[in-house]
Structure 1
Amino acid sequence: MSAVPLPPALSPDAPPVRFSNRFAALGDVFYTALPAQGVPDPQWVVVSEACARDELGLPDGWSRRAEWQALQVVSGNASWPGMQPLASVYSGHQFGVWAGQLGDGRALWLGEIEGPHGPRELQLKGSGLTPYSRMGDGRAVLRSSIREFLCSEAMHALGIATTRALCVVASPMPVRRESIESAAVCTRTAPSFIRFGHFEHFTHTAQDPDALRRLADFVIEHHLPECRDAAQPYVALLDAVSRRTAELIASWQAVGFCHGVMNTDNMSILGLTIDYGPFGFLDGFDPGHVCNHSDHEGRYAFARQPNVAFWNLHALAQALMPLIGDSDLALEALEPYKTVFPRALTSRMRAKLGMATERDGDGELIDGLMRRMAQDRTDLTIAFRRLAQFRTVEGADNSEVRDLFLDREAFDAWALQYRARLIAEGSDDAARAIAMDRVNPKYVLRNHLAQEAIHRAQNGDYDETRRLLKVLQRPFDEQPEHAAYADFPPDWAQHIEVSCSS
């Protein structure tokens, strides 16, 4: 790779934000230091002020302050004091097959900012070629950048562990995908972007035998300190990741989120949703739904996500074996997933149904509803939102939710059981409705909503992207002025295809 000129650094006195990079101290076997390759004529598409404030502690108006030159920094054309851009190396299994060395092919770590809740890493996604770009161009397009930005912020608002997105900038630079598109850069942040694949890489390389241990110690020291004093710290690390991953997947399944590319290099060591590509939220409930047009075998179908996550944890356990040494201990550290995931999912589903207590038969009641929904392809989000209005009084009109099901008699049979369950715990209809509306979103990032925002943005109109962000940041509120965003998807939505290039 030819040398790239370093983007000019701004004055050390502006802006008043300082960067560090603890990851760089691990040693250059973990990364390649290189500058961002900026994009020409950048312009703001959208900014998450909530992310800037809550994650990074940036002041209101940071993006508009002339002395900060924020637009130039987040487009890769300049740098703030202390930034140490680098692309990290990792490996991984892709679609269940060992893919060897991968790495940050279009992302650059800029460093860490001390935020209100601790250090937060900042990344540019789409800032040019790195040594790990393989056959790619290191760029991102406007389409994929808007999707990642909106979903990152939407998932956070839903209470799901995720990386965050600070902003998106657009550029007229042409980028080839299936067709020629325009370039964009998405700035994202997280406590750490370390993946399962980082550990896999340093198990399968001999260039630095101690690198795997340094990486594990780094994660424990800075991100999972509760493992530090365990009798077997690396076993405790695997146990902690198993539990976090179980909670994450339960939260996905509860809202009908499909990731689309659950490769081990797309799995966060901290249990965060990471790398939004061909994702999707279910419209009609279909356990076999495959949201990734490139997933020809359906490996990452919605219903398979829990098992795939467990498979990925086994890959992580294998990567940690040089440190753990005992396969029985490694398998023991994976066991929590088998109990934490179903318990976490059942707890979330119980809350979605407004059941305040835990009782025998709850699992069967939940499964019965999901079978009815799968049979009729009932809209998942709308159905649970309407269930909040279910009334237990004898002879109540529950047609608003009943009419979502093709097989009315089957729903009626289930509703009798549901009513009896609610009455048995003394459920109050009004109080239950309030509680259910707090956990059942009215607004999710459906594909057709993202597509409409993208279409307008590609024609230079970013207002819809910004409007949609505001709606998605309040997913549980009624927002009557935006009720159309909670409607059934139009017929054309079922023909939208998203792939790994998304």
Structure 2
Amino acid sequence: MSTSPFLRDFFRPPLWHDWGAGFVCQTRCEGLPDPRWGIWNSTLAQELGLSEIPTQEANVHFSGNGPQVPWCSAYAGHQFGQWAGLLGDGRAHTLGRDPAGNQEIQLKGAGMTPYSRRGDGRAVLRSSLREYLGSEAMAGLGIPTTRALALLTSSLPVRRETRETAAIVARVAPSFLRFGHVEHLAWHGFPAELKRLLDLLITFHYPAARHQPNPVLSVLEAVVERTAHLMAAWQSVGFCHGVMNTDNMSLLGLTLDYGPFAFLDRYDPQFIGNHSDQEGRYAYDQQPGIGAWNCAVLGSALSVLIDDEEGIQTVLGRYEPKFSTSLLSRFRRKLGWRKPLPEDPSLIESLLSLLHRNQVDFTRFFRFLAQDAVQAEPARLEDEAEFQGPSSWTEWVSAYRERCAQEESSTGVRAQGMRAANPKYVLRTYLAELAIRQAQQGDFAMARDLETVLRTPWDEHPEFSAWALAPPDWAGALTLSCSS
């Protein structure tokens, strides 16, 4: 099949394409047979200079059937706290960069690579659609993330827990470089490539580091800060990643690799999104600490280039205050507070304790509070049936009202800020499941509607208001694993 000269020449090599066999190789995709469009992200496509309408040429390229020979990279990492050795792009093929050179485009699920180990290099429709919707939901929330450009499906059978069908998601990011890339080059004896990796990061992503006394240490500090802010963002919207292995951590502070992720329904700080995580290492309340642990692993790997152990420890020590300050700031915005007061942390802590004890829906509660702020006669939390439980709200509500009275801004301004900080919609697990079930029957209508709603999750979207209700009872039986 002929291909458009524009698309054929669209992809520029990734910045790391010539770094040698210890880091990168080229390997052809195993394209999908009879590929069919699932979703095409027309908004992102236009940003990249692609057609708003999915074309047959785009179908060829993004289904892994194009003429280009993509690149795959090696990386290592710690999985569930244990050194896992060589890993790499087991089912990811980087087509290259867009013409502007700002974004890498990668196919996930286009077949085996030299790093597939015992895997088949394929992705199934279920996990591909979850990644597509999950990454776009996070982008809509304003949280740093990879993006999804396209989802293509096929009747090709793939065996997981059951027989499923194959799919490919085309994802986009300024870079897919991970903590695990640094670990691989540091611990497997590639100092020249590691130096080139840091030079690349400094040139294209952390240019201010070039002017610091120790540029590599400065990059570590920037990654630590971005990771701390990312963890605070996750916690503030009730997002649980599920598999925070170091090979799933972005050197740019992006949310990377959507597997068994979930947004909290009822607030439970010990919520475990990953059924495979039997010890709860990556539970919701453990994420901030794991972020710090992963940064420490990164610092250890970068010590190959940083001859300053004291400096590394000083930088790592800044993670906790950065995280705490960022999280407190986010919760202040959620509660409508602009002026920081010393009692804020204890009020927030007591609120979260009430949410937990009363088994309150996390997203719905904060959205209710935002709506409550605009009412002439505010509703009483004590009278809301869905918030009732073993613990009374009376004392906290009284303290909250007194705290809000100390704000200098008007009620209207406060309410507007709260609505902008508290989404009405998140990608609840049961919504993704319903979209998957329809897509498996060839119907992507719900998936496309979800994409639209999640792009602006703060808006009312009255025609989809049912998606903002508490999940049905059957949703509690849904489980997710590393194959999700």
* TM-score category, normalised to shorter length: over 0.9
Counterpart residue number, 1:58: 50
**What SS is found at the alignment partner of 1:237?**
helix
Counterpart residue number, 1:245: 227
Instruction: Pick from 148, 159, 168 the counterpart of residue 165 of structure 1.
Output: 148
Counterpart residue number, 1:465: 447
User: What is the deviation of 1:362?
Assistant: 0.7
**What SS is found at the alignment partner of 2:371?**
coil
2:184 is aligned with 1:191: no
In 2: Cα distance, 1:226 partner to 1:84 partner? 34
2:61 is aligned with 1:73: yes
Task: State the AA in 2 paired with 1:132.
Answer: Y
CA gap 1:262/1:394 in 2 versus in 1, 3 angstroms: same
User: What is the deviation of 1:353?
Assistant: 0.3
In 2: Cα distance, 1:408 partner to 1:104 partner? 49
User: What is the deviation of 1:431?
Assistant: 2.6
Counterpart residue number, 1:48: 41
Task: State the AA in 2 paired with 1:25.
Answer: D
User: What is the deviation of 1:59?
Assistant: 3.6
User: What is the deviation of 1:376?
Assistant: 1.3
In 1: Cα distance, 2:13 partner to 2:283 partner? 39
Instruction: Pick from 98, 101, 108 the counterpart of residue 86 of structure 2.
Output: 101
**What SS is found at the alignment partner of 2:22?**
helix
**What SS is found at the alignment partner of 1:322?**
coil
Counterpart residue number, 1:4: none
Gaps (5+ residues) in structure 2? none
CA gap 1:150/1:451 in 2 versus in 1, 3 angstroms: same
In 1: Cα distance, 2:6 partner to 2:473 partner? 55
TM-score, reference length from structure 2: 0.96
User: What is the deviation of 1:394?
Assistant: 11
Contact 1:84–1:111 (8 Å) recurs in 2: no
Task: State the AA in 2 paired with 1:238.
Answer: L
Alignment of 1:445-460 (within 5 A): 445-460=427-442
2:157 is aligned with 1:174: yes
Stretch of structure 1 that moved more, 418-427 or 467-476: 418-427
CA gap 1:11/1:45 in 2 versus in 1, 3 angstroms: closer
Alignment of 1:297-446 (within 5 A): 297-391=279-373, 396-399=378-381, 402-407=384-389, 410-446=392-428
In 2: Cα distance, 1:401 partner to 1:34 partner? 62
In 2: Cα distance, 1:176 partner to 1:31 partner? 28
Contact 2:132–2:169 (8 Å) recurs in 1: yes
In 2: Cα distance, 1:145 partner to 1:260 partner? 16
CA gap 1:479/1:393 in 2 versus in 1, 3 angstroms: closer
Contact 1:112–1:122 (8 Å) recurs in 2: yes
Contact 2:373–2:414 (8 Å) recurs in 1: no
2:22 is aligned with 1:29: yes
CA gap 1:325/1:394 in 2 versus in 1, 3 angstroms: same
Contact 2:381–2:393 (8 Å) recurs in 1: no
Contact 1:386–1:401 (8 Å) recurs in 2: no
User: What is the deviation of 1:114?
Assistant: 3.5
Counterpart residue number, 2:205: 223
CA gap 1:262/1:39 in 2 versus in 1, 3 angstroms: same
Gaps (5+ residues) in structure 1? 1-7
User: What is the deviation of 1:149?
Assistant: 0.2
Task: State the AA in 2 paired with 1:60.
Answer: E
CA gap 1:213/1:221 in 2 versus in 1, 3 angstroms: same
User: What is the deviation of 1:218?
Assistant: 1.6
In 2: Cα distance, 1:313 partner to 1:437 partner? 33
In 2: Cα distance, 1:172 partner to 1:197 partner? 34
1:27-54: CA deviation from partner (whole Å, max 9, x where unpaired): 3321111111101010000111122223
Contact 1:391–1:397 (8 Å) recurs in 2: no
Q: How many residues are matched?
A: 484
Contact 2:382–2:388 (8 Å) recurs in 1: no
In 1: Cα distance, 2:213 partner to 2:233 partner? 31
CA gap 1:14/1:354 in 2 versus in 1, 3 angstroms: closer
**What SS is found at the alignment partner of 1:404?**
helix
CA gap 1:391/1:223 in 2 versus in 1, 3 angstroms: closer
Counterpart residue number, 2:138: 155
Q: Which runs of 4+ in 1 moved over 6 A?
A: 392-395
CA gap 1:13/1:393 in 2 versus in 1, 3 angstroms: closer
**What SS is found at the alignment partner of 2:191?**
coil
In 2: Cα distance, 1:393 partner to 1:454 partner? 38
1:143-171: CA deviation from partner (whole Å, max 9, x where unpaired): 00000000111100100000000010000
**What SS is found at the alignment partner of 2:85?**
strand
Contact 1:168–1:185 (8 Å) recurs in 2: yes
**What SS is found at the alignment partner of 1:46?**
strand
In 1: Cα distance, 2:221 partner to 2:415 partner? 37
Counterpart residue number, 2:110: 127
1:411-470: CA deviation from partner (whole Å, max 9, x where unpaired): 111000000011122453333222111110001000000000000111111111111111
1:205-261: CA deviation from partner (whole Å, max 9, x where unpaired): 12x332221211121122111111210011101100000001101000000000000
User: What is the deviation of 1:14?
Assistant: 5.2
CA gap 1:336/1:9 in 2 versus in 1, 3 angstroms: farther
Task: State the AA in 1 paired with 2:124.
Answer: V
User: What is the deviation of 1:192?
Assistant: 0.3
Contact 1:392–1:422 (8 Å) recurs in 2: no
2:183 is aligned with 1:200: yes
CA gap 1:401/1:102 in 2 versus in 1, 3 angstroms: farther
Task: State the AA in 1 paired with 2:88.
Answer: G
In 2: Cα distance, 1:284 partner to 1:441 partner? 15
2:132 is aligned with 1:140: no
